[in-house]
Chains A and B, each alone.
Chain A
Amino acid sequence: MEFLVDILLLSDSTLRVAGPLILAALAGLCAERAGIVDIGLEGKMLAAAFAAASAASVTASPWAGLLAGIVASVLLSLLHGYVSINQRGNQIVSGMAINIMVAGLAPTLANAWFSRGGQTPLLPSEARFTEITLPFADAISGVPLLGAIYSDLLSGHSLLTYVAFVAVPTVGWILYKTRFGLRLRAVGENPEAVDTAGISVTLLRYQAMIIAGILCGISGSALSTALGAGFIRDMSAGKGFLALAAMIFGKWKPVPTLLACLLFAFVDALQGRLQGVALPLVGEIPVQFTIMLPYVLTVIILAGFVGKMEAPKASGIPYEKDR
C-alpha cells in the first residue's frame, strides 16, 4: 500500500514538473519545424517567469502575470527571429546571447523594482495559478484505484499544467491537420519550395516564432506563478535545454516529445523523492548526485543510444533567396 502511495505521489509530481517542460519543448518544436533552432528557450522561460511574477505581484492577478510572461517571451522570440530571418545570423549564438542577457537582466530589474536581492516578492495565493479540483473529484475519491487516480493524480493541478497537456494535441492538430501546419513543416524542410509556391518564408517563420514565444511564455509563467510563488534567480535551471533534448528525443513530433518530457519530469520527481532516502544496497545517495540525474539522462539520450535523430533539413540554416 505504501508502495502504491509512493507511486501515486511520484506520478503526481511528475505531472506537475512536466507542465513547463512540455510547453517549452513544444515551443522548440514549432520553431525547429519551421527551420529555426531555438537554443534560447531557457532565456525566454526565465524572462517570462520574471515578467509574470512581477506583473502578478503588482496587480495581484495571475492573469496579468501570464499576459506579461507571454509578452516578454514573444518579444525575445521576435528578436531571435529578426537575427535568424532578417540578419541571417548564427542561430546558436543568438540563442545563447538571449540566455545570457536574460540571466543578467531579470535579477537587475528585480533588484531595481523590488529591492529584494534579485528576487520578486513572494506571491500570495490569489496572485498565483493555484490547484484546481476537477469536477466530482471529491465525490469519487472513495472509489478504489480509479478514485485515487482521478482525484489524487489527475485532479489538483494548476490550470497551466492542464494547458500544457491540452497544448500537445493542439500543436499536433495545427501541424498535421491545417494548411498553416503543412506550410510550416514545409518551410523547415525546403524553404525554397515554399517560396516558389508563392508563400512568404519570412512571414511563416515569424509566425512560428510567435507561437514558440507564446508557448514558452506560458511555460515560464508557470514556473513563477503556478509551481513557484515568485521569481528567483536562475529558476529555469536548465529546463530550456532539457526541453530541447526532449524534443530531439521525441524526434520533433508532438506526442513522442510529450512522452520524453514525462520521462524527464519523472526523473526530476524521482530525484526529489530520493533525497535523504536510504536505498537498499547503496544506502543514501548524496543529494548532489541525485540532482545530477536529469542532466545525466539528457546526455545519455543525446548520445543517441535511442536511435537516429533526424532534424528538419533546413533547421538552423538561414534562407537566402538568391543562391
Chain B
Amino acid sequence: MSVAPAIETRNLCKRFGAVQANDNVSLLVDQGSVHGIVGENGAGKSTLLKMLFGFYQPNSGDLIINGVPLAFDSPSEAMAAGIAMVHQHFMLVEPFTVLENIILGAEGQPMLKHAMTDARAKLLGLEQQFGFDLPLDTPVSQLSVGERQRVEILKALFRGADILILDEPTAVLTPQECDQLFDLVRLLKSRGKTILFVTHKLHEIMAITDAVTVIRAGKVVTCTATASTTPDDLAEAMVGAKISRTVTREAKDHRSPRLRVDGVSALSDHGHDALKAITFDVYDGEVLGVAGVAGNGQTELLEVLTGLRPVSSGRVELDGILINADDVQRGPTKLRQMGLAHIAEDRLKTGVVATMTATENAILGYQHDPDFCQNGLLKLSAIDRAANTYFDSQDVRPRDPTLPVASFSGGNQQKLVIARELARDPQTLIIGQPTRGVDIGAVTKIHDQITELRNAGKALLVVSADLDELMAISDRIAVMCGGELVGIVPIQDADERTLGLMMAGASGAPHSEEASA
C-alpha cells in the first residue's frame, strides 16, 4: 500500500475555555473510502470536522492530507487542499439561485457574467458525471430539503473537492431521500472521492461505510473496519455504560378522545396553506406520534393545537370544548388553565427566554396562575419556591435558579421546561421535539417520562423529526406531508419503509385507520 491516507490526524486537541472538546484525536481515513464517524450529541464530532475544514484551528496536533502535513487557517485553505463540508444546516443563501449559490466564493473572476458562463459549462459536465438534475436558475428557497442537500454536494464538487465531509446528512431526509443519498455516496466513492460520513444512526454506518471511528467525550474510543463490528458494539462504545429504558408501555384500553381535530386547515406565516383539512383524535392513555420531513406542517399543527395560530377552517376540541375554530380562538393562557401543557419544539426560540433567569422562566406561561400572581402583583417568594421544586424534581444542574437559562446545557434546559409544564398536572400534553439537543442519558429519561405519563392516562401528542424516537414511544404514528395528514399507522404496523413512503407523499396508510376511529 503506497497510497497515503486521504486524511490523517495525529493527537488533535481543541479546547474551549475549560472544555476539552477534542482530546488527542487520531484518525486515519483511506483514499476512496467511506469513513463513518459516530458519537453522541456533544461528543466532539462537530469540533473535529470544523478543524478538518479549517473553521477552527487545533490547539495542538497534526493534520496530514494525502500525505502532506497541512495547517488550515481558514475554510478556503482547506478547500484549496480539496476538502469540502456539507453542513447539517445548509449554508445556502435562500433568495439566490442554485447557480449563484454554487459559485459564491469560487467565482474565479470579478465579473459575474463571465463567471456564470464558465460555471454553467463546468456544472453541466459535473451534473452528467454524477447524475444530478438541479435547476440552476431557480432560487434555492423553492427547492426541497433533499434538493438543497444536492446543491451543497454539487457546490463541493464544483470546488474540486476530493474529500467530502457530510455532517449528519440524513437528519432532515425521508428514508427514501436517504436511499438516494446513499446511491450518490456510492457513486462518489466509485469516482475516487473520499467521504467522511458523520451520523449518530448506527444502521446508516452499517449500510454505507467501509470503516468507522467512534468518538466519546472528545476522545476516539474505537476505530475499526465496519465489516468487523456490530451495531451493538458501536452503541456500547458510543454511550459507554449501556442505559436502558426502565418503563414499558402498559396495555391500555383507551376509548375516550381528549383532543379532537376535525378538518383543520391553517395558513403559514407567509399566507400559504400550511395545514389542509386535517382530522384526528388523541385519546387518553396514548401517545400519538407525528412524523414528517421538517416543514410539512408539523410546526403549524403544534401552534393550532396550543392557541398560537388561528385555523382557517375546521375545529379543534379539548375535552369536548371548542378551543380553535373560525370564530373561537382560546389563547395559551386559557388552554393551560384547561389542563393543556405545551413543550415547545424550538426551546430557545419559543420555550424559554434565554437571557432571563431560571426562576423567571419557571413561571413563563403560568404568570396568571393565582399561586404566582395576585391582583397583577407577582408573588416572588412563591415563584422562588416553585423554581427550587422544579430543580429538585427533575434534577436540573447546576442547582442555581438565579442563573440565566442560557448558561444551562440543552438537556438541563429541557428538564426545567418539562418540570414547569408538568407542575400543574396537565391531562393533555402537546410536545414538539422532546429530545432535540439533549444528551443521551437525558433522552432515555425523557422517553421514560413520556411513557409514564401515558400509563397514567394522559393524552400526548409528540412531534419529532426522529423516526426512531417516535417508534420507541408512540402508540400510533401520524404522518404529515405537504400540510396533509397522509395517514395514521398503529405502532404494530409501523416500519421505517412504510412511514418513509408516507412522509415522501408516495403512499397512504397501509390499511387506513379503523382501529381508532
Q: Known: A177-B113, A195-B75, A196-B55. Contact between A182 and B87, CB under 8 A?
A: no
Is the pair B74, A193 in contact by a Cβ cutoff of 8 Å? no
Tell me whether A178 and B55 are in contact (CB under 8 A). no
Per the 8 Å Cβ criterion, residues 109-142 of B in contact with A are: 109-113, 115
Residues of A near B55 (CB, < 8 A) are: 195-196, 321
The answer on a CB contact under 8 Å between A182 and B100 is yes
Residues of A within 8 A of B366 (CB): none
Beta-carbon nearest neighbor of B105 in chain A: A197
Cβ of A44 within 8 Å of any chain B Cβ, yes or no, is no
- Contact yes or no, B112 A178, CB < 8 A: yes
Question: Which one of A18-26, A113-121, A183-191 is at the B interface?
Answer: A183-191
Q: Give A contacts to B, CB under 8 Å.
A: 176-183, 185-186, 189-190, 192-200, 313, 321
A190 touches B92 (CB 8 A): yes
Q: Which residues of B contact A186 (CB under 8 A)?
A: 93, 96, 104
CB <8 Å contact, A178 and B110? yes
Q: Apart from A177-B112, A197-B76, what 14 extra A-B contacts exist at CB < 8 Å?
A: A178-B112, A179-B107, A179-B110, A179-B111, A179-B115, A182-B100, A189-B93, A190-B94, A193-B92, A196-B55, A196-B75, A196-B87, A198-B76, A198-B79
Partner of B104, one of A194, A200, A313, A321: A194
Mask, B247-275, CB within 8 Å of A = 1, is 00000000000000000000000000000
- Least CB distance from B308 to A in Å reads 21
Take A177-B112, A198-B74, A198-B79 as given contacts and tell me if A182 and B107 are in contact as well, using a CB distance cutoff of 8 Å.
yes
Within the complex, the shortest CB–CB distance from B77 to chain A, in Å, comes to 8
Residues 42 to 89 of chain B near chain A (Cβ within 8 Å): 55, 74-77, 79, 85, 87, 89
The answer for the CA separation of A74 and B77 in the assembled complex, in Å, is 32
Contacts of B89 in A (CB 8 A): 192
A197 touches B95 (CB 8 A): no
B356 within 8 A of A: no
B321 at the interface (CB under 8 A from A): no
Residue of B nearest to A188 (CB): B93
Distance of A200 Cα from B96 Cα, bound (Å) = 19
In the complex, the answer to whether B75 meets A193 with C-beta atoms within 8 Å is no
Judge whether A182 and B112 touch: CB under 8 Å: yes
Least CB separation from A200: chain B residue? B74
Q: In whole angstroms, how far apart are the Cα atoms of A199 and B93 in the complex?
A: 14
A182 B111 Cβ-Cβ under 8 A: no
How close is B117's CB to chain A, nearest CB, in angstroms? 13
B328 at the interface (CB under 8 A from A): no
Answer whether A198 and B75 are a contact pair too, CB < 8 Å, given A179-B107, A186-B104, A190-B94.
Answer: yes
Asked whether any CB of chain A lies closer than 8 Å to the CB of B187, the reply is no
Please tell me if the beta carbons of A189 and B94 are within 8 angstroms of each other in the complex: yes
From A182, A183, A186, A192, residue with most partner B Cβ within 10 Å: A182
* CB of B91 within 8 Å of the partner chain: yes
A307 to chain B minimum Cβ distance, whole angstroms, is 13
Determine whether the beta carbon of A183 is less than 8 Å from that of B94.
no
In the complex, are the beta carbons of B110 and A183 less than 8 A apart? Answer: no
Does any Cβ of A come within 8 Å of B106's Cβ?
Answer: yes
Query: Is B93 within 8 A of A190, CB to CB?
Result: yes
CB-nearest residue of chain B to A314: B93
Q: Which residue of B lies closest to A190 (CB)?
A: B93
Which interface residue of B75, B101, B103, B105 has the most chain A CB atoms within 10 A? B105
CB pair B111–A197 under 8 Å, yes or no, is no
Residue of chain A at shortest CB distance from B78? A198
Asked, given contacts A179-B115, A181-B112, whether A197 binds B94 with beta carbons under 8 Å apart, the answer is no
* Secondary structure of the B contact surface, majority rule: loop
Bound complex: CA A188 to CA B392 (Å): 45
Measured CA separation A179–B107 after assembly (Å): 7
Give the chain A neighbours of B115 by CB distance below 8 A: 179
Which 7 residue pairs spanning A and B have beta carbons closest together? A198-B76, A197-B105, A193-B91, A179-B107, A198-B75, A196-B91, A186-B93
Q: Which residues of B contact A183 (CB under 8 A)?
A: 104-105
- Residues in A neighbouring B109, C-beta threshold 8 A: 179
The B216-274 residues at the A interface (CB cut-off 8 A) are none
- Find the residue from B74, B85, B93 having the highest chain A CB count within 10 A: B93
Q: Once bound together, how far apart are the Cα atoms of A192 and B90, in whole Å?
A: 10
A176 to B115, CA, bound (A): 13
A190 CB contacts on chain B under 8 angstroms: 91-94
A131 to B113, CA, bound (A): 38
Complex Cα distance A272/B105, Å?
A: 49
Residues of chain B contacted by A181 (CB below 8 angstroms): 112
Q: Enumerate chain B residues within 8 angstroms of A180, measured Cβ to Cβ.
A: 110
**B residues in contact with A198, CB < 8 Å:** 74-77, 79, 105
Q: Are A199 and B105 in contact (CB under 8 A)?
A: yes
Smallest beta-carbon distance B427→chain A, Å: 37
Residue among A181, A196, A200 having the largest count of chain B Cβ atoms under 10 Å: A196
A195–B106 Cα distance when bound, in Å, is 13
Docked complex Cα distance between A196 and B72 (Å): 13
**Alpha-carbon gap, A228 to B422, bound state (A):** 69
Closest to A177 in B: B112
Interchain CB contact under 8 A, B92 and A178: no
The B170-222 residues at the A interface (CB cut-off 8 A) are none
Q: Across the two chains, which residue of chain A brings its CB closest to B107?
A: A179
Q: A196 touching B85 by the CB < 8 A rule?
A: yes
Shortest distance between the CB of B439 and any CB in chain A (Å) = 18
- A185 to B105, alpha carbons, bound, how many Å? 12
The answer to whether B104 touches A182, judged by C-beta atoms less than 8 angstroms apart, is yes
Q: How far is the CB of B212 from chain A (nearest CB, A)?
A: 26
| Residues of chain A within 8 A of B74, CB atoms compared | 198, 200
**Cα–Cα, bound, A178→B108 (Å):** 11
Residues of B within 8 A of A197 (CB): 75-76, 91, 104-106
| Least distance between A186 CB and chain B CB atoms (Å) | 5
Jot down 21 A-B pairs with beta carbons below 8 A, ordered by A: A177-B111, A179-B109, A182-B100, A182-B107, A186-B93, A189-B93, A189-B94, A189-B95, A190-B93, A190-B94, A192-B91, A195-B55, A196-B91, A197-B105, A197-B106, A198-B74, A198-B75, A198-B76, A198-B79, A199-B105, A321-B55
Complex interface: chain A residues within 8 A of B85 (CB):
196
Question: In the complex, what distance in Å separates the CA atom of A180 from the CA atom of B115?
Answer: 12
Considering residues A177, A183, A193, A200, which has the most beta carbons from chain B within 10 angstroms of its beta carbon? A193
What separation, in Å, do the CA atoms of A178 and B109 have in the docked complex?
A: 9
Residues of A within 8 A of B77 (CB): 198
Task: Across the interface, name the chain B residue whose C-beta is closest to A312.
Answer: B95
Cα A197 to Cα B89 in complex, Å, equals 14
Query: Contact at B112–A179, with CB atoms within 8 Å?
Result: yes
Closest to A186 in B: B93
Q: Given the complex of chains A and B, what is the CA–CA distance between A200 and B76 in angstroms?
A: 10
Q: Which residues of A contact B105 (CB under 8 A)?
A: 183, 194, 197-199
Q: Are B111 and A193 in contact (CB under 8 A)?
A: no
Taken together as a complex, chains A and B put the C-alpha atoms of A180 and B105 apart, in Å, by: 10
Q: How far is the CB of B256 from chain A (nearest CB, A)?
A: 45
Report chain A residues within 8 Å CB of B94. Answer: 189-190, 313
| Closest chain A residue, CB of each to CB of B91 | A193
Contact A193 B104 (CB under 8 A): yes
CB of B313 to closest CB in A, whole Å: 24
Task: With both chains docked as a complex, state the minimum distance between the C-beta of B148 and any C-beta of chain A, in angstroms.
Answer: 12
